[in-house]
Structure 1
C-alpha cells in the first residue's frame, strides 16, 4: 500500500530505536525516514514539501553535523526554521532524557512533548489525527483509487490537478499543461509495461494515442479509455488549437471543460493501475502490441 504517512524522523540515536520505526509502520502505516541532524532532515523536507507530512524531533538533536554534541539548541533551531520557513509542517517533540522530563523551563517553552516508550501510542495517534486534517491528506484520502498506489513527483502533479477541481478553479487553463505532464508519464509507463509498442519521445503524443486507440487493443484498452486518451491528448497537446481552448476556458465559455478533463485523466490512471501484473499476462499483452505495431508498419510500407 502506497498511501502511507510519510514522516521525517530526526534523532541522532534512531539506529537504536528501529523497534519504534517498525511499530509505526505495522500499527499506523507510518513510514519514518530517519536523519541524524535537524539540518539534513529539514533540507530534505524543503526539496519535496508535498511528500512529507510531519516531522518527529528528538528534544536533544544534532544541529548541522554528526561531529557535534546533541543538545536542545538543535531542537530550538529546528523549531525556529519550521516556524519561519515551513509553517505548514506539523512537528512533534519526543524525548527520553530524564533531565528534560523534569525541567520546568523546557516544559514552559515546549508545552506539548512525548516521552519515548511511554507515549509512543499517543504520539502516533496525534500525528495521524493532525495529518488527516491537512488539506493534502484530505484529498489523498478522498481519492484512494489514485493515491493508494501513485507515488513521487507524478503523485504531486496529480494532487495539484485534483486541487484545481476541489477548489473549483474551472477557469484555470494551466490545468492542461499539468495534464500534459501526466500524459507524458503515462505514455512512458505504458511503453515500459509493454502495451505501447511506440517509444514515447516527448513529441509523438498523438502517435502514441492513436496506437492505443486501435480496435485490436480494445480487450486491454477499453473503448472509454481510448476515447479519454484521444480527448486528453487533443486538449492538452500544444499548438494553435490549445490557445483557442485556453481562451474558451479563461472566458468561461467552456465552464466544465477543466472538470471533465480532470475526471477523464483520473479514469485513465485508475485503468492504468488495473493492468495485469502477472508475468505471463504481461508477455501476452506485449506480444499483442508488438504484432500490431508490425502489422501497421507493413501496411504503411505497402
Structure 2
C-alpha cells in the first residue's frame, strides 16, 4: 500500500474498461485517478480547483464536448493548449496515453504532442514517469519540505482552506525566479485569514468560546487575547485564572505580529484598490518580501503547535469550564455599589462550614485567625470558582488590634 496520495485528473472516453489499471495505480502507487469522459468536463474540473491536482493523464483520442461525438485528436489538442496556457498560473505535469495502433508510427503525432505511452505496454513506465514528475514538481517539493505543517493541517481539518494560502507564499519563497510578479504586500492579509481557520479549529473543541465570534465570524483580536489568557473585554470572557493561558508567549507574539501587519479587511483577501495602495505604501522596499516570508515561517511553527495541542485538549465541555465571564459595566456598577458598604469597615472574620473565611459577603484569603479585627481596605469581584457562588466579593484587609 502506497504511503503517498496524488490526485490525477484522467480524461479517457473508455476509462471504465481500465478499472484494473485504475485500481493498481491507487493501491500500489498512491495515484488516485479521477476519470472524465470528455475534454470539456475534465478541463472544467481542473480549473475549478487547480491546486487540487498533481498531474493530468490524457487519452490521445477523446471526446471533446460530449460523448455523442467520434473520439478524435481535437479534444487532445484543446486540452494541451489550455494546460500550456495555465502553466503561467500553475505548471501541472501531463501525460498522453493511447491504445490506437495508427498513432504509434505517426511521426506527425509525436511532433505535435511529444512523448506518449502505449496502453498495456507502457503502463509501468507511465506510472514511474508520473511519480517522478509529481515528486519533482515545485508544489510537491514544497509539500515535502513542510510535511509536518501539512500533516498538522490535516489533523485540525483545515488543510483544504489553509493549503492554498500557504502555497501562494511558500512557492515564491523557494522558487522566486518562477514567481516574478509576487507582491508581498498583497499577502499579509492572507495570513490573518489563515489565523481565522486556526481559531475556528480551536472553537470546535471549546479552546475559543462562541463569545469570541460575531454572527459566525471570527473576531481575531478577541480570540488572540483569550488564547493568551488576557481579558477579551469586547467578548466579555477570559481563559482561566489570572496568569493562566493556552498559547505560550512566543505563539502569542507571532499572532500579534500577523494581526498588526495585516490590519485591513480581516475577513477577506479581496482588497479594494485603495486598500492595496495603503498596504503598498507601508512596504515599498524590496525587503518587504522577507517580512512576509518570516511571518509565514513563524506561522508554520504556530500551525504545528496548534496541531499538537488541540488533539490533546479536545474535550469541549472541560475546556469551556475554564471560560470565565468578565463583569459587564452595568453589573460592575451594581456590585461596586453593593461593595461600598463593606469598604473601610471593621470585621471579625468568620469561618463557615466549608472552611471558608469571610466577612459577610466578602471572601478573605486567610488560613486561620486568632484574635483582633480586620479593616477591609479594598473590595473587588471574586473570581475564585470555589468561593464566588457564596461570596461575590473578594476583600483585601489590614489587621488591627483593639
Would you say same fold, with TM above 0.5?
yes
**TM-score after normalising by structure 1:** 0.81
Deviation for aligned residue 1:193: 3.5
- d(CA) in 1 for partners of 2:206 and 2:20? 41
Q: Secondary structure of 2:32's match?
A: strand
Which structure has more relative contact order (CA 8 Å, sep 6+)? It is 1
Contact 1:95 1:115 in 2 (8 A): yes
Q: Secondary structure of 2:321's match?
A: helix
Q: 2:213 aligns with which of 200, 207, 210?
A: 200
- d(CA) in 2 for partners of 1:206 and 1:14? 51
- d(CA) in 2 for partners of 1:18 and 1:277? 38
User: Which has more helix, going by share of residues?
Assistant: 1
Cα 1:164–1:237 change in 2 (3 A) is farther
- d(CA) in 2 for partners of 1:83 and 1:260? 33
Deviation for aligned residue 1:42: 1.2
Q: Secondary structure of 1:55's match?
A: strand
Deviation for aligned residue 1:23: 2.1
- d(CA) in 2 for partners of 1:76 and 1:244? 45
Q: 2:260 aligns with which of 222, 227, 234?
A: 234
Asked if residue 52 in structure 1 is aligned to residue 19 in structure 2, the reply is: no
- d(CA) in 2 for partners of 1:2 and 1:173? 37
Q: Secondary structure of 2:247's match?
A: coil
Matched with 1:282 is 314
Q: Secondary structure of 2:46's match?
A: helix
- d(CA) in 1 for partners of 2:114 and 2:287? 54
Structure 2: which 5+ runs fail to align? 230-238, 266-275, 333-402
Q: 1:258 aligns with which of 280, 286, 292?
A: 292
Contact 1:164 1:175 in 2 (8 A): no
Deviation for aligned residue 1:132: 3.0
Q: Say what the alpha-carbon RMSD is for the aligned residues.
A: 3.5
Cα 1:99–1:261 change in 2 (3 A) is same
Deviation for aligned residue 1:256: 5.0
Deviation for aligned residue 1:37: 0.7
Cα 1:56–1:37 change in 2 (3 A) is same
User: Which has more strand, going by share of residues?
Assistant: 2
- d(CA) in 2 for partners of 1:107 and 1:236? 50
Q: 1:37-91: CA deviations, max 9, x gaps?
A: 1111112222232332321001121111122232233222322333345463322
Contact 1:58 1:94 in 2 (8 A): yes
Cα 1:135–1:109 change in 2 (3 A) is same
Structure with bigger gyration radius: 2
- d(CA) in 1 for partners of 2:171 and 2:309? 26
Cα 1:257–1:103 change in 2 (3 A) is closer
Question: Which deviates more, 208-217 or 153-162?
Answer: 208-217
Q: 1:104-150: CA deviations, max 9, x gaps?
A: 55455444111223222211211222233332222222211223436
Structure 1: which 5+ runs fail to align? none
